[in-house]
């Protein structure tokens, strides 16, 4: 068994409940929620979308809002101006290019205006059960520390993870690494003393666990 699979097996035992924290009822709702989640907690996004999705949960109904009106809904998520623009741009593309339905392939998702690689990967993996690894700040940090993948950009880490993780485990690995990052491997002062994978962790074995973690692209 490889080190990578050993780590994943341990995390699987620790976090059998690992699953998306964002609340959604359709691929479109998930797409909007993931756009809003950039540098914002899932809890806050869920509060915002609970209100937003009451009347605006399809591309058609979302485009009834002006950018200014949408910004008022999502203000508390931060970066509201850019996020509103991205949501409206993606909604137009979905209507004009895909007959109002969120495309189900990774290649098509990545063509949507305002949709970045991480967002496309999340929607593809979660809504359409595809094989993809979305690298957010938690995945980036945990993968680098454990030594599963080394990289200075999310794209480099994604490529590294895809190279060592069996394809059928990509999507699951994404959720497991996120859970471990949130619960144990914190950005500052990770709880190495209670980490089940510490003996396999490059960062733990090569540093003083009492020190702050290296800076990552949060």
Q: Which residues are catalytic?
A: 118, 136
Give every CB contact of residue 210 below 8 A, 6+ residues apart in sequence.
none
Instruction: Considering only CA atoms, give the Rg of the chain.
Output: 18
Query: Which residue's entry shows tokens 């009834």?
Result: 64
Alpha-carbon distance of 186 to 118, in angstroms, equals 21
Length of the chain: 218
Q: What is the Cα 3 distance to its own chain's centre?
A: 24
Write out the two tokens for 176: 């497991």
Residue pair 165/8 in contact by the 8 Å Cβ criterion: yes
Of the candidates 118, 150, 134, 121, the one whose C-alpha atom is nearest the C-alpha of residue 216 is 150
∠ CA 49-187-36, nearest 5°, is 15
């Amino acid at each position: 068994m490889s080190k990578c699979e050993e780590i994943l097996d341990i995390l699987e035992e620790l976090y059998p409940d690992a699953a998306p924290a964002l609340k959604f009822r359709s691929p479109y709702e998930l797409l909007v929620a993931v756009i809003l989640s950039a540098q914002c907690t899932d809890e806050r996004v869920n509060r915002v979308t609970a209100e937003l999705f009451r009347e605006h949960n399809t591309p058609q109904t979302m485009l009834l809002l002006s950018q200014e009106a949408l910004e008022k809904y999502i203000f508390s998520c931060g970066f509201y101006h850019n996020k509103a623009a991205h949501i409206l741009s993606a909604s137009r593309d979905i209507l004009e290019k895909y007959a109002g339905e969120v495309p189900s392939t990774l290649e098509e998702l990545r063509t949507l205006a305002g949709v970045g690689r991480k967002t496309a990967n999340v929607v593809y993996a979660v809504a359409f059960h595809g094989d993809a690894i979305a690298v957010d700040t938690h995945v980036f940090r945990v993968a680098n520390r454990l030594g599963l993948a080394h990289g200075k950009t999310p794209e480099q880490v994604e490529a590294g993870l895809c190279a060592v993780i069996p394809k059928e485990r990509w999507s699951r690995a994404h959720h497991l690494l996120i859970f471990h990052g949130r619960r144990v491997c914190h950005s500052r002062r990770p709880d190495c003393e209670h980490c089940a994978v510490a003996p396999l962790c490059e960062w733990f074995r090569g540093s003083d666990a009492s020190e702050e973690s290296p800076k990552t692209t949060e």
